Amino acid sequence: MRKINRISIIGAGNMGGAIAGGLFRNPDFPSGGITVTARTQSTLDRMKAAYPEISVTTDNPAAVSGADLVIIAVKPWQIKEVIEEISPAADCGRCTVASVVAGVSFAELRQMFTVAPALLRIIPNTAIALGKSTTFIARDRVDNETAEEIAGLFRAMGEVVEIPEEMMPAGTALASCGIAYALKYMDAAIKGGIETGFGAEEARRIVMKTMEGALALMETNGTMPQTEIDKVTTPGGYTFRGLEAMEGHGFSDAVLQGLLHSM
Residue 74 contacts ligand NAP per CB under 6 A: yes
Distances from the Cα of 36 to the Cα of 30, 49, 64, 75, 171, angstroms: 14, 13, 10, 15, 26
3-state secondary structure of 100: coil
Residue 76 contacts ligand NAP per CB under 6 A: yes
In this chain, which of 123, 150, 160, 174 binds ligand NAP, going by CB under 6 A? Answer: 123
CB of 172 to ligand NAP, least distance (A): 7
3-state secondary structure of 115: coil
Q: Which stretch binds ligand NAP (CB under 6 A): 12-20, 27-35, 202-210, 232-240?
A: 12-20
Q: Kind of pairing, strands 118-123 and 133-140?
A: antiparallel
In this chain, which of 4, 89, 102, 156 binds ligand NAP, going by CB under 6 A? Answer: 102
Q: Kind of pairing, strands 118-123 and 96-99?
A: parallel
First to last CA, the chain: 39
Closer Cβ to ligand NAP, 14 or 227, answer by number: 14
Residue 65 contacts ligand NAP per CB under 6 A: no
Closer Cβ to ligand NAP, 118 or 122, answer by number: 122
In this chain, which of 5, 105, 126, 233 binds ligand NAP, going by CB under 6 A? Answer: 126
3-state secondary structure of 173: helix
CB of 144 to ligand NAP, least distance (A): 25
Q: CA-to-CA distance for 49 and 45, rounded, in angstroms?
A: 6
Query: What residues contact 3, with CB distance under 8 A and at least 6 apart?
Result: 68, 145, 146, 149
Query: Among 175, 77, 181, which Cα is nearest to 133's?
Result: 175
CB of 98 to ligand NAP, least distance (A): 11
Q: Which stretch binds ligand NAP (CB under 6 A): 32-40, 49-57, 202-210, 214-222?
A: 32-40
**CB distance 51 to 31 below 8 Å:** yes
Residue 23 contacts ligand NAP per CB under 6 A: no
Q: Which stretch binds ligand NAP (CB under 6 A): 8-16, 24-32, 149-157, 231-239?
A: 8-16
Residue 82 contacts ligand NAP per CB under 6 A: yes
Residue 89 contacts ligand NAP per CB under 6 A: no
In this chain, which of 8, 26, 35, 37 binds ligand NAP, going by CB under 6 A? Answer: 37
Q: CA-to-CA distance for 220 and 208, rounded, in angstroms?
A: 18
Based on its alpha-carbon atoms, the radius of gyration of the chain, rounded to whole angstroms, reads 22
Residue 13 contacts ligand NAP per CB under 6 A: yes
3-state secondary structure of 177: coil
> What residue ranges bind ligand NAP (CB under 6 A)?
10-16, 37-40, 43, 60, 73-76, 78, 81-82, 100-102, 123-126, 176
